[in-house]
Amino acid sequence: MNSTSIRLIEPSDGPALAGLHTRDQQAYARWLPPRPPEFYTPDGQASVIESLLASHGSGLAWPGVVVSDGAAIGQVNISSILRGPFQKGFLGYWVSSLHQGLGHTSRAVGLVLRVAEDELNLHRLEAHTQLENLASQAILRKHGFTSWGTAHEHFYADGAWRDEVFWERILGDRQGGPAA
């Protein structure tokens, strides 16, 4: 079994992530929005990472990388963090096609759930999957997420509007609400 860990993204991850995105551009076209050509370059990824780290610095996100045997193989992110009466975030993740089917994605989701609860003190995580993405749905179910609806023509990818299933997970067993 290959090791899996997650950590906060770093500027030095840009070249590796650019390589993974470039390699998987066609394989993931069905699941991801169209991106400009510069997204697939180290400089483009440096800009993305800078933006992600700015969101992290503002408390709006936890942008992570999935690591196996010392190399970045994907990303796991908690974005759109809302505080106040919500205390929730939005989960997103991907692992390179070269590393799929080895349990990395599931382990990364399990690890980021601990970050959401223990470090970010979130009450709830939400996620979306395209209707046909059964592998991702299985990972979410395994980690205690439940589906709560379908949004029709919710996401545009690969030239078409896609239906998505909405998922939720309540974290921990907190009594009461957030501090005033």
For residue 99, give the DSSP letter. Answer: G
Which residue's entry shows tokens 């995105």?
21
> What pLDDT is recorded for position 174?
55
User: Which pLDDT band, with edges at 50, 70 and 90, does 33 fall under?
Assistant: confident
- Measured between alpha carbons, how far is 24 from 60 in angstroms, rounded to an integer? 28
Sorting pLDDT into bands at 50, 70 and 90, what band is 27?
Answer: confident
- The letter for the amino acid at 56 is H
Rounded-to-10 torsion of CA 76, 82, 86, 90: -20
Question: In whole angstroms, what is the distance from residue 138 CA to residue 136 CA?
Answer: 5
pLDDT tens column, 134-180: 999 999 999 999 999 999 999 898 888 999 999 999 998 655 566 54
Q: Which CATH superfamily is domain 5-123 in?
A: Gcn5-related N-acetyltransferase (GNAT) (3.40.630.30)
Q: How far is residue 22's CA from residue 12's CA, in Å, rounded to a whole number?
A: 17
Q: Which amino acid is at 173?
A: D
Across the range 23-34, mean pLDDT stands at 84
Residue 161 CB burial class (10 angstroms; 0-12, 13-18, ≥19): exposed
**Averaged over 29-41, what is the pLDDT?**
87
pLDDT tens-digit readout, 73-105: 999 999 999 999 999 999 999 999 999 889 999
Mean pLDDT (the chain) is 92
How far is it, in rounded angstroms, from Cα 71 to Cα 107?
Answer: 15
Phi (first) and psi of residue 84, to 5 degrees: 65, -135
* pTM to 2 decimal places: 0.91
pLDDT-based confidence at residue 31 (cuts at 50, 70, 90): confident
The domain limits of the chain are 5-123
Report the pLDDT value the prediction gives residue 32, as an integer from 0 to 100.
Answer: 81
